[in-house]
Amino acid sequence: MWKLLAAAINRFVMRSYEEASTAPAVKSPVGETVPRPLVAKGPELLTREGVEQHFQRAVQLLESGNNAAAEEAIQLAVKRAAVEGNKAGPVYAEARFKEGTILRALGAVDRAAAAWLAAIEVRAIDDESREDRFAYQASLAELLANTGKLDEAEQVLRTSVGEQKEFFGPHHLSYALGLSALADLLLVKNEPAAALEAIDEAVQIDTAAAGERLPIDLATRAYAVRAARGKEVESLETWPTLTPQMQAILVKQCIARAEHFDPKIARPVLLELRERLQNTAGAPVVLPVSVNIALANLARTSGDHEARIEALQQTIKLCEPLPDGTHLATAYQELATALDDADRQAEVPTAYDAALQAARETDKRALLSAILRNYAIWSDRAGHHERADELHREAVHHGASCGDWAVHGRSTTAYGIFLQHACRNEKAREMLEVALAHLPPSHPDTTAAQEHLTALDRGEPCACHIKSQKT
């Protein structure tokens, strides 16, 4: 939920960084890139534009790794604003907000929160400064929520929402956005009834104003309904009234939220979504495919093997008519893995064979190599050693010709380990050396290849072989 909450309320901060990063740099006499120095403007008072110049300089110093100088640059703006404006007025508030932004980037979250709170406490004197205050409040609330201070975050957001309602009016889309952020936070706090009240008001405003956030808020509402009223209650009853574009956004938003909720809440939302898609003529096949993949992932996380298998079988049915067999091959491979995890071993080869057939028809050698490698590993574990050797060799062949060094490295790592376990050490060494020549140092398989090659060099059994003997 943190990502969803942050996405709802911290866009202003990100935009500030993006704008600052576009400022040009200059070259020092020795060729080193340094931030462009501020241009002296005499006795003129600090303005918002001046604060922005200090901020840009601080960002550039951060990017160059000079953290202390970055902090000093933005605090200079704060000191100037405090002296010239007596810690009152929009320039001082903006300077404290920019200071908090830099401090947060430095990881000084408590000091960043204090700076943003100081910005909020400055009395707004005009419409522009009042709107800025809303951005300050949103940033502080997101920071407090991310540091676990949920009650304090709620207090900030409720104050902000009340002020937005007074400033914009009860039917304005900006007020609805504040309500949406509050609903997200209340869901994080496990207060679904209060979250539903807030998001219902936001949805009413979105609907009346034909706001583009409507499907986004409807996704939040779907989870709030399930959490507040139970899994048997419909939560997407407005689906038929939405345009196809809005339906597609709603699907994506529901999927994005699924991993952040208890599966007992997320699964009913996705099942209802799948049913509505099935009853919607002309719905792009990618939408129900995406929902089934999300259901499978959710079931895998919760250990529900049967639900995972059912979702993957539904995915396969949807992918079979597609001209490109890539999704079909991937779905069959996922089904094979799910059957293996569910200990339905007799069904695994059929799923892998179907995955191979679909992959061969795509002529995507990287995909084919990956499926062959996984099938070989399963076959070896199942005791089908000759079949595993055959599959490994073909995986290496396609990995070498696919043009992707990482795929080639993975296939040779897997085959090298297989050969080492079979005591075919010279061939194993050859494969592992090829793997290390192709895998980047940061790749997860690099460590495994190096460890097995080291064991060969020392004439010792590999660590996984020792572990298997102990178990």
Q: Give 193-220 pLDDT, tens digit per residue.
A: 999 999 999 999 999 999 899 999 999 9
pLDDT at 450 over 80: yes
7 shares a domain with 137: yes
**219 within some domain:** no
Residues 131 and 5 in one domain: yes
Least confident of 12-16, 374-378, 393-397: 12-16
Tell me the average pLDDT across 67-82: 94
What is the reported pLDDT for 189? 95
Summarize pLDDT for 284-339 with one digit per residue, the tens: 999 999 999 999 999 999 999 999 999 999 999 999 999 999 999 999 999 999 99
419 in the same domain as 290: no
The whole-number pLDDT of residue 139 equals 95
Per-residue pLDDT, 468: 47
Residues in the chain, total: 471
Q: Is residue 347 part of a domain?
A: yes
pLDDT at residue 404, rounded to an integer: 94
Residue 467: is its pLDDT beyond 80?
A: no
- The answer to whether residue 322 sits within a structural domain is yes
Q: Which domain holds residue 381?
A: 364-471
CATH of the domain at 315: 1.25.40.10
Per cent of the chain over pLDDT 70 is: 89
Claim to verify: residue 284 and residue 412 sit in the same structural domain: no
272 plus 351 within the same structural domain: yes
Mean pLDDT of the chain: 90
- Asked if residue 216 belongs to a domain, the reply is no
Domain count, the chain: 4
Do 196 and 167 contact (CB within 8 A), yes or no? no
Same domain as 438, residue 373: yes
Distance CA 309, CA 201 (A): 39
- pLDDT tens-place string over residues 100-118: 999 999 999 999 999 999 9
In Å, how far from its chain's centre is CA 49? Answer: 34
Are residues 6 and 99 both part of a single domain?
Answer: yes
